[in-house]
């Protein structure tokens, strides 16, 4: 009787397969993996065991963000810069809330706007700056209109920049800024939803929003022409959303329903409902590998 090796090697992680349907080579024992721990996935999709780890810093780390030449994270309640040489520079105390970021290119320095529902600010060229409402400078006839703006920048739990406008989600309200003026917010232009916002992502033709009950496509280029179009009667798991590279589409996970994709026309497709029993979850994190595999962790 011929002996068949079982899982002697692997061909890589696959997010579109479950363990029972993953390809298996009976001659070599190679299979595609749906779950892996402590491995490295190279550009060809091959796996190798990691060679251990070296602890550089200890503490409670979360909310990592790439700024190109450096990174940001929260370490023991302190917003910190992770430099290219892996040293860490403290910026300011921010508490332990989950931090969100928006990277803006302004021609001089890349500015990172951040907030966690309690505090907000700007990191410019690795240094801290306050995110304050700037005084109005311009023609006198608009002074009265500017006075009606919010006296402070709203501090929310989610932030996104689309077509030169910054959108800040605070609980169930989304505040749009004036175009290219990320400190000016008119409360009369705010959008109110039924429950706390769990997703706010854009494609070229509009902004996708999930409010804990459904997914809505805000079709248009900004507040001047947005039209609300319901596209899905289920809620997105917060943190599971990501824009697909080199595609004008968005991918996210619906709690208890699976991983879905939507395009710039509002068409939604569930990629996993036919073979994956997706768990109920309240928050997640996601990553797209260079071969466009979607890796998702939910809790």
pLDDT bracket for residue 39 (50, 70, 90): confident
Query: What is the rounded average pLDDT for all residues in the chain?
Result: 84
- pLDDT, greater one: 185 or 22: 185
pLDDT reading at 139 higher than 80: no
Provide CB contacts within 8 A for 195, sequence distance 6+: 172, 211, 212, 213
Query: Which helix (DSSP H) or strand (DSSP E) does residue 286 occupy?
Result: strand 284-288
pLDDT tens-digit series, residues 142-169: 666 666 788 899 999 999 999 999 999 9
Phi–psi pair at 63, nearest 5 degrees: 55, 55
How much is the average pLDDT of 27-48?
65
- Of the candidates 182, 186, 240, the one whose C-alpha atom is nearest the C-alpha of residue 210 is 240
Q: What is the pLDDT of residue 73?
A: 96
CA angle 134, 139, 144 (to 5 degrees): 70
Residue 238: the pLDDT is 95
| Domain range summary for the chain, segments of one domain joined by + | 9-49, 61-236
- pLDDT at 52 (0 to 100): 73
pLDDT tens digits for 85-100?
999 999 999 999 999 9
Q: Of the ranges 6-10, 29-33, 128-132, which one carries the lowest mean pLDDT score? A: 6-10
- The average pLDDT across 190-205 equals 96
Compute the distance between CA of residue 43 and CA of residue 31 in angstroms, rounded to an integer. 17
Q: Is residue 20 very low, low, confident or very high in pLDDT (cuts 50, 70, 90)?
A: very low
Instruction: Specify the CATH superfamily of domain 61-236.
Output: YVTN repeat-like/Quinoprotein amine dehydrogenase (2.130.10.10)
């Amino acid at each position: 009787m011929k002996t068949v090796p079982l899982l002697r090697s692997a061909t890589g992680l696959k997010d579109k397969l479950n363990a029972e349907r993953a390809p298996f080579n009976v001659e070599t024992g190679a299979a595609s993996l749906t779950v892996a721990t402590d491995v490295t996935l190279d550009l060809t999709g091959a796996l190798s065991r990691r060679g251990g780890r070296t602890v550089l810093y200890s503490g409670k780390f979360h909310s990592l963000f790439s700024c190109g030449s450096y990174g940001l994270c929260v370490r023991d309640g302190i917003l910190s810069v992770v430099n290219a040489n892996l040293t860490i520079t403290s910026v300011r105390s921010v508490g332990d809330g989950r931090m969100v970021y928006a990277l803006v290119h302004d021609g001089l320095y890349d500015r990172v706007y951040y907030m966690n529902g309690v505090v907000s600010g700007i990191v410019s060229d690795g240094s801290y700056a306050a995110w304050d409402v700037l005084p109005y400078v311009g023609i006198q006839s608009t002074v009265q209109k500017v006075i009606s703006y919010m006296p402070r920048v709203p501090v929310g739990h989610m932030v996104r920049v689309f077509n030169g406008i910054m959108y800040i989600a605070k609980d169930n309200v989304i505040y749009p800024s004036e175009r290219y003026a990320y400190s000016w917010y008119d409360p009369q232009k705010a959008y109110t939803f039924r429950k706390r916002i769990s997703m706010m992502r854009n494609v070229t033709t509009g902004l996708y929003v999930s409010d804990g009950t459904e997914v809505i496509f805000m079709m248009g280029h900004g507040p001047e022409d947005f039209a609300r179009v319901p596209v899905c009667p289920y809620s997105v798991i917060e943190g599971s959303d990501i824009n697909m590279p080199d595609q004008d589409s968005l991918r996210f996970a619906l709690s208890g329903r699976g991983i879905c994709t939507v395009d710039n026309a509002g068409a939604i497709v569930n990629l996993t409902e036919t073979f994956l029993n997706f768990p109920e979850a309240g928050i997640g994190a996601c990553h797209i590998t260079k071969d466009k595999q979607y890796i998702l962790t939910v809790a």
